Amino acid sequence: MENSHFKEQVKTKEELRDIAGAPNKLAHQKIISYLDRHCREFIEHSPFVIIATADYKGICDSSPRGDHPGFVQVVDEKRLLIPERRGNQKVDSLENILSNPQIGLLFLIPGIEETLRINGKACIVKEKALLDTMAAHNKTPLLAIGVEVQECFLHCSKAFKRSKLWNPESWERVETLPSAAQIVAEHAGFSTLESRTNPEESKTQHLYEKKPL
């Protein structure tokens, strides 16, 4: 797709490879099509996953999910279940899955610089027996995202080393940044007070249940 905002663009795979070079043999060989014991163990210790989806037009979306370590359930070597807790009811990822089942997952473990990447096909699961197994704080998830694994592999640590993400000494001073309430207020056209009341309250008081209207 043509993008007129950038003048010099790479247009072919050949040109891309001329610049980037060819991947080494290990980059291909490390990709497996099932969840082995190492992948399972990584998922069981991960409290955070980023979900990437796209709709039928190819418009992409990425969304974080987090809970206690191991909140994503390994069903077997080819299947995963991700609980869909209550949120803002936009359900962008779920709507995308209905029209385009392809999904990408990026699992993180705090303090570990490698990440686990999984690609596959997703569906929306409503089976009560399965949802009940993912209850947290006596709250059963509304739905779950079922994933059929097609590819999984460990991603190297370069991005985390460069960013020093897990090093507290490298973190920005948060007091110099605008609060989430201020940002939402400007984006949504609310007063700062209204914005501060809503998002901040939701962060701690409505993690596992629907927020009252």
Query: What is the per-residue pLDDT for 201?
Result: 59
Beta strands in the chain (DSSP E): 48-54, 60-66, 73-76, 79-84, 102-108, 115-125, 143-155
Give tens-digit pLDDT for 84-136. 998 778 899 999 999 999 999 999 999 999 999 999 999 999 999 999 999 99
Query: What is the per-residue pLDDT for 205?
Result: 61
Q: Is residue 195 pLDDT above 50, yes or no?
A: no
Determine the Cα–Cα distance for residues 65 and 130; give it in Å rounded to an integer. Answer: 18
At residue 192, what are phi and psi to the nearest 5 degrees? Answer: -60, -40
Hey, what domains does the chain have and what are their CATH numbers? 29-163 (2.30.110.10), 172-205 (no CATH)
Q: Is residue 140 pLDDT above 60, yes or no?
A: yes
Query: What is the per-residue pLDDT for 2?
Result: 62
Mean pLDDT computed over every residue of the chain: 90
High-pLDDT (> 70) share of the chain, %: 89
User: Which residues, 6 or more positions from 193, have their beta carbon under 8 angstroms from its beta carbon?
Assistant: none
pTM of the predicted structure, to 2 decimals: 0.88
Where helices occur in the chain by DSSP H, the ranges are 13-20, 25-29, 37-44, 92-99, 128-132, 158-163, 180-188, 192-205
Give tens-digit pLDDT for 78-91. 999 999 998 778 89
